[in-house]
Amino acid sequence: MNSVQQLLDQAQYHQQQGAIDKSMALLGEAGKLGNIYAALDFAYYKVRSDAKFALIYLQSIPNAQHPTVRYHTALITRFYVEENFSRSVISELVALAQSGHAESLLVLSCWCSEEEKIYLQIVSVMAKLSPNIYRQLVNDVRVLVSTSLEPLDESSIERAIRAREAKLRSLEHEMLNEDISLVRVKNALSAFECRYLQQRFIPLLTRSMVANPADGSPLVDSIRTSDVGVILSEMADWIVRDIDTRMANISNTKTSHGEPLNLLRYQKGQEYKAHYDAFSHKQCQQTELIEEGGQRAHTVLAYLNSMSSDGETHFPKIDVKIKPEQGTIVSFKNIDENNEILKLSLHLGAPVANGEKWTLTKWIRINQTQYGILTHGN
C-alpha cells in the first residue's frame, strides 16, 4: 500500500506530465488516507462536473469533521448545489464560527454587518478567538472583549442573512445609457466587504499593465498608472465567490465566462486614460486569447471607497461621469451583437487628486474561461 507521501509524489509527477486525471485520482487516494489538502484539491477538481460526488467524497474521508473540511463542504453546498444559504449551511457556519474558525467568522461578519447588534456579537467572538484577524480587519471601538464567550444566536444570524438576501434582490438597477447597457447599482457591496477586499488582497498589488497590441503580452504603459492585484481562482474564497457571482448577476452574464477579479488602487496623480476594454481584431485572432474565452463582452466595476470630487469614471462619447461611491457596482457592454467594439464604450478613470481610489474590476468573455470554470464550474 502506498504511503501518503508516495501518493503525493506520484500525483506531482503525473501533473508535470500533463496527466491531470491520474494526478487528481492519486490526490483523492491521499485524501482518503488523511491528507486534508489533497482531499480538498481532489474535491474541487471533481466539483466542476459533479458537485454531489465531491460532497460524498469529503464526507467519507477520515477527517471529515475537521473544521477546514466542514467549512469547504459548506462552501461547495452553498455555491455548487443549493446556490443560496440553506438553513443547514448557516447552522454549520455558526457552529464553526463559535469555535473560532476564522473564515466562517468572516463570512458571517460580511452577511450580518448591517445588523449592528448581531454583527458586534460575531466580531466579539473574532476578537477573542481570532485576535490577529480582528485587529487587521475590524478593530471596532464598539466591541468590548470580555473574559466569557457568549453563544452566537443562530436564529438572529439567519434572520440577518435573509434580510440581506432580500435587500440584494431588490436593489435598483439605474440605466444610465441604453446603447452600451450602462447600469449603476448602489449599495451592492457592504462596507465590510469593501474593507475586506482591500485588506485581504493588498499584498498582491503590482504595477498595472495593458495588453500589447502586437501579441497580447502584458505591457507597462503610461495610459494606465494604477496598481493591480489579480485574484486568481486559488484565492477565490467564500466572500470573493459571493461578490463575483453578484457582479455576474448584475451584468446578466455567466460566472463561468469571467476573468479573475482585479483589485485596483489609484494613488495621487494616477489614472487610466481613455480606452476600450474590448480587444482589437488583431488581438482576437491570437490563439491564447481565443482559448481563454475570446472577446471581452462586458465590464463590471465596483467602487470600494467614495471620492468627493475626483477619480470619476468618464464615458466621453455619451457624456456620462460616474462618481465613485463605496459599494456601487457599474456594468456596461463592450461589444455589439456582431462582436464589434461599441465605440460608445470608450471610458477613462480620471486622475486622483487626493487620497486613494480603490476599485474591483471584472471582465467577462464571450466564452468560458479557465478562471470561470475553476471557480464556478461549467
Q: Return the sign of the alpha-carbon dihedral for residues 78, 82, 85, 86.
A: negative
pLDDT confidence tier of residue 282, bands split at 50, 70 and 90: confident
Mean pLDDT of all residues in 110-120: 93
User: pLDDT tens digit string along 1-38?
Assistant: 579 999 999 999 999 999 999 999 999 999 999 999 99
* Residue 284, pLDDT above cutoff 90: no
pLDDT confidence tier of residue 110, bands split at 50, 70 and 90: very high
pLDDT confidence tier of residue 178, bands split at 50, 70 and 90: very high
* Residue 220, pLDDT above cutoff 70: no
Q: Return the sign of the alpha-carbon dihedral for residues 25, 28, 33, 36.
A: positive
Rounded Cα distance between 344 and 335, Å, is 10
User: pLDDT tens digit string along 223-265?
Assistant: 777 899 999 999 999 999 999 999 999 999 999 999 999 999 9
pLDDT of residue 287: 85
* Residue 84, pLDDT above cutoff 80: yes
Which of 102, 76, 101 is CA-nearest to residue 89?
76
Coil, strand, or helix at residue 271?
coil
Mean pLDDT of all residues in 262-278: 93
Give φ, ψ of 264 to 5 degrees: -120, 135
C-alpha cell at 209: 499593465
Rounded Cα distance between 143 and 235, Å, is 29
Give φ, ψ of 115 to 5 degrees: -110, 95
User: pLDDT tens digit string along 149-165?
Assistant: 778 999 999 999 999 99
Which long-range CB contacts under 8 A does 131-139 form with residues at least 24 apart? Answer: 133/102, 133/105, 133/106, 136/199, 137/106, 137/195, 137/196, 137/199, 137/200, 138/109
* Contact assessment for residue 240 and residue 261, using Cβ atoms and an 8 Å cutoff: yes
Global pTM? 0.91
